[in-house]
Amino acid sequence: MRSILHVDMNNFYASVECLYNPEIRNFPVAVAGDPLNRHGIILAKNMIAKKLGVATGEAIWEAKLKAPGLVLVPPDYKKYLRFSRMAREIYYEYSDQVEAFGLDENWIDLTYSLKYLHSDPVSIANTIRERVKEELGVTVSVGVSFNKIFAKLGSDMKKPDATTEIPYEHFREIVWPLPVSDLLYVGKATARKLELIAVNTIGDLARMDVAILKRRLGKWGEILWLFANGMDTSPVRKISESEQIKSIGNGTTCPRDLKTEQDVRLVFTVLAESVAARLRDCCVKCQGVQIYLRDNDLFTISRQKKMEFPCCTSAPILETAMELFRQHYRWHKPLRSVSLSAIYLVTANKHVQLSLFDDTAEQLLVQEQIEKTIDMLRYRFGHNAIMRASALLDKKLTGFNPKEDHTIHPYSYFR
């Protein structure tokens, strides 16, 4: 039987900011984006703000209604990345199987290290809690169990600064009464589908006939049934293995609504350049493009399309995105935010078959060289050392740098 910990840093961004700023600690604090750029949502809140009802993902004005004295702090991702790394360095002392889940959560598999550590999982969990408090000045909640899913459920149960164990002998009493939406990978859509077949708690899910679940939810039906019954066998990844990237995308909420095709093209140009540069950084090429369009009623559509040749340059990605856009958007409303993703990734060292009849593939190679040179220039002299002339048409729209300024949404933002 495995011993797995799930370590969750409490109110991560807010905790880091409160550590660095002792004066604000006794006030409700929230880390939020810049409302002037229409990025004004709550990314994290401290315990005081949480008790007043401030929620991650809501707008700043909504949060201020609940907590009038709310202190707002802009996000500083460099700090959070550093804290995330320092916390993981503590975890690495207990196992070589440490898998990150976002910046603030990690699974640690202690099964093979226990004999060297001369201790039990709960004591190690408490030691880790103390060390993070002592060395980093922030608190964590730890779940201890025999699989990743229950370990994560455990860490969600007591916050802040606590250890929760879900042992094999008692998991049914502890886990089964919980709402099914608490289970990892059960979001709003899945919860709704389960509600229709009277599955409201994890216990209901566990006791349900797996054939019915497979019919209703497909492959996930069986997987979620296994999760609910404590039969998740997914391993905790080793430190050296990184997750295989399935797509690379960038999106933005624009400082003003987009009203013309040129507006959309300008923003897609910036996004396509960033996505292409990231593809090159990861040594992959994409064979498809997906776009997300959100209008100013917050109604979202997404469309995708396969491409003829795998590529890692911005021009084909941009053109494919514009084709999708023209084909599927009828301009019933101005657009508030758009997103562009490179999908169907393949490794970049695949040889490209040059055709005798057209030079598309050869042109792609030339374009690739040009863009790699631009990468180098930007690396040495900054992002704005070189830019497309079209960007000058509307500097306010195109004046963002998604590759460097990217916002990392905490996992809880999506719940």
Partner 1 sequence: MKINLKVTADFDLDGKIMPRAIEWEDGRVFAIDRVFDVRRAASLKAGGVGMRYICRICGRTVALFNDENKWFMEGKEN
Distance CA 242, CA 38 (A): 34
Segment contacting partner 1 by CB under 8 A, of 134-142, 248-256, 268-276, 364-372:
134-142
Query: In 3D, which of 385, 403, 380, 409 has the Cα closest to residue 278?
Result: 403
Distance CA 360, CA 216 (A): 45
Distance CA 375, CA 280 (A): 9
Segment contacting partner 1 by CB under 8 A, of 135-143, 152-160, 194-202, 383-391:
135-143
- What's the CA dihedral at 137, 139, 143, 144 to 10 degrees? 40
Quick note: the x/- pattern for partner 1 over 183-222, rule CB under 8 A, is: ----------------------------------------
Distance CA 194, CA 196 (A): 5
User: Which residue from 110, 128, 136, 144 is in contact with partner 1, where contact means CB under 8 A?
Assistant: 136
Q: Which is nearer to partner 1, 86 or 370 (CB)?
A: 86
3-state secondary structure 257-274: EECCHHHHHHHHHHHHHH
The H or E element containing residue 361 is helix 360-381
Q: Which is nearer to partner 1, 78 or 380 (CB)?
A: 78
Quick note: the x/- pattern for partner 1 over 53-82, rule CB under 8 A, is: -----------------------------x
Asked if 105 is an active-site residue, the reply is: yes
By CB under 8 A, how many residues form the interface with partner 1? 13
Segment contacting partner 1 by CB under 8 A, of 15-23, 56-64, 221-229, 386-394:
15-23
The 3-state DSSP class for residue 408 equals coil
Starting from the edge strand earliest in sequence, which strands make up the sheet with 42-45, in order? 42-45, 29-32, 71-73
The 3-state DSSP class for residue 292 equals strand
The 3-state DSSP class for residue 147 equals coil
Is residue 20 within the footprint of partner 1 (CB under 8 A)? yes
Q: What's at 238, amino acid-wise?
A: K
Catalytic residue (one of 105, 273, 368, 371): 105
Q: C-alpha angle 153/414/131, rounded to 5°?
A: 50
User: Which residue from 22, 115, 351, 357 is in contact with partner 1, where contact means CB under 8 A?
Assistant: 22
Q: Which is nearer to partner 1, 134 or 169 (CB)?
A: 134
Distance CA 141, CA 161 (A): 5
Q: Which is nearer to partner 1, 19 or 343 (CB)?
A: 19
- Shortest Å, Cβ 136 to partner 1: 6
Quick note: the x/- pattern for partner 1 over 137-156, rule CB under 8 A, is: xx------------------
Is residue 386 within the footprint of partner 1 (CB under 8 A)? no
Q: What are phi and psi of 308, to 5 degrees?
A: -70, -50
Handedness of CA 309, 310, 312, 315 (dihedral sign): positive
Q: Which is nearer to partner 1, 17 or 368 (CB)?
A: 17
Q: Which is nearer to partner 1, 19 or 387 (CB)?
A: 19
Is residue 21 within the footprint of partner 1 (CB under 8 A)? yes
User: Which residue from 2, 19, 126, 413 is in contact with partner 1, where contact means CB under 8 A?
Assistant: 19
Residue-level length of the chain:
415
User: Which residue from 34, 96, 135, 405 is in contact with partner 1, where contact means CB under 8 A?
Assistant: 135
C-beta separation of 87 from 132 below 8 A = yes
Q: Are strands 335-347 and 284-295 parallel, antiparallel or unpaired?
A: antiparallel
Is residue 26 within the footprint of partner 1 (CB under 8 A)? no
User: Which residue from 36, 115, 116, 134 is in contact with partner 1, where contact means CB under 8 A?
Assistant: 134
- Shortest Å, Cβ 409 to partner 1: 24
Residues marked as catalytic: 105
Binding residues for partner 1, rule: CB under 8 A, are: 19-22, 82-83, 86, 133-138
